[in-house]
Amino acid sequence: MTEYALALLVALTGWWFSTGLVLWLVHRSERHHRSIFAVATVMMLCSFILVARVAEQLSPAAAVLAFCLALLLWGWLEMSYLMGFITGPHNEACPENVSVLGRLGRGLGTSLWHELVLLAMVSLLYAISLDQPNQITFWAFSVLWLMRWSAKLNLVLGVRNYNREWLPVHLAYLDSYIPRRPFNMLFPLSLALGSALTYVLLHTSYMATDLSVVVGLTLVGMLAALGTLEHLFLMLPLGDSALWHWAAPMAEKD
């Protein structure tokens, strides 16, 4: 059971710290954003090189490293949007009384370039990992992608809880796309699918005989579980923002 405990610790720590680190960096003064993002971009490019090398290795340590690389790549992607470098053609508030489909379309326009970059990154990870023994980076990144799309759809349909204060000032208009509702029809389906994905991944890891596969799939399964938990945060008053209170202070003054 040691490998499961280790995978749980790595997944929880990685999820919590990487989320907090992105928030902390995004809420630094905007005069620092270009330099921060430049360094992050260099790290992202180096990460892709490392992914290609790690994908050829099958060991518990390589599985953990592949998982951490997925978090690093995801952190760059989130930073690119929250800092305003890669967003979309629309940067205005959503009109009042617009239909759900209209809000979805306009919402996609606020992040279209970002979604295309995301698709390109997933495709590149797939190409790198194809026929390789260690595909954990691709699977972890794909789970993050699916969970984020599910969360974004729930946000547009309406949620009870949303940390508006986490949005940088230049993205404040995004709040107009998120109605406050106690429930939406997609929410139970998202929970069911997230729970099913978690079960499949963790069950497969339990049935595996290779320790590297056990560690890797447990990490990805825990990521799916945490993504499902984040969906609950959207609807239940659980005070999840306290987990990252340290990471989202007021932006520094110029």
Determine the distance from the C-alpha atom of residue 10 to the mean position of all C-alpha atoms in its chain, rounded to a whole number. Answer: 16
Selection from 87, 74, 230 nearest residue 162 by Cα: 230
99 sits in the region (left: phi over 0; alpha: psi -120 to 50; else beta) called beta
Q: What is the CA radius of gyration of the chain?
A: 18
pLDDT surpasses 70 at 188 = yes
pLDDT computed for residue 247 by the predictor? 85
- The neighbouring-strand residues paired with 159 are 180
The two three-digit tokens of residue 247, written as one number? 């990471």
Q: Classify each residue of 181-215 as buried b or exposed e, where b means 16 or more C-beta atoms within 10 Å of its C-beta.
A: eeebebbeebbebbeebbeebbeebeeeeeebbbb
This prediction's pTM: 0.94
Q: What is the pLDDT of residues 190-237, one digit of tens each?
A: 999 999 999 999 999 999 999 999 999 999 999 999 999 999 999 987
pLDDT computed for residue 249 by the predictor? 57
The residue extents of the domains of the chain are 2-244
pLDDT computed for residue 1 by the predictor? 63
pLDDT surpasses 70 at 251 = no
- The neighbouring-strand residues paired with 180 are 159
Determine the distance from the C-alpha atom of residue 196 to the mean position of all C-alpha atoms in its chain, rounded to a whole number. Answer: 19
pLDDT surpasses 50 at 14 = yes
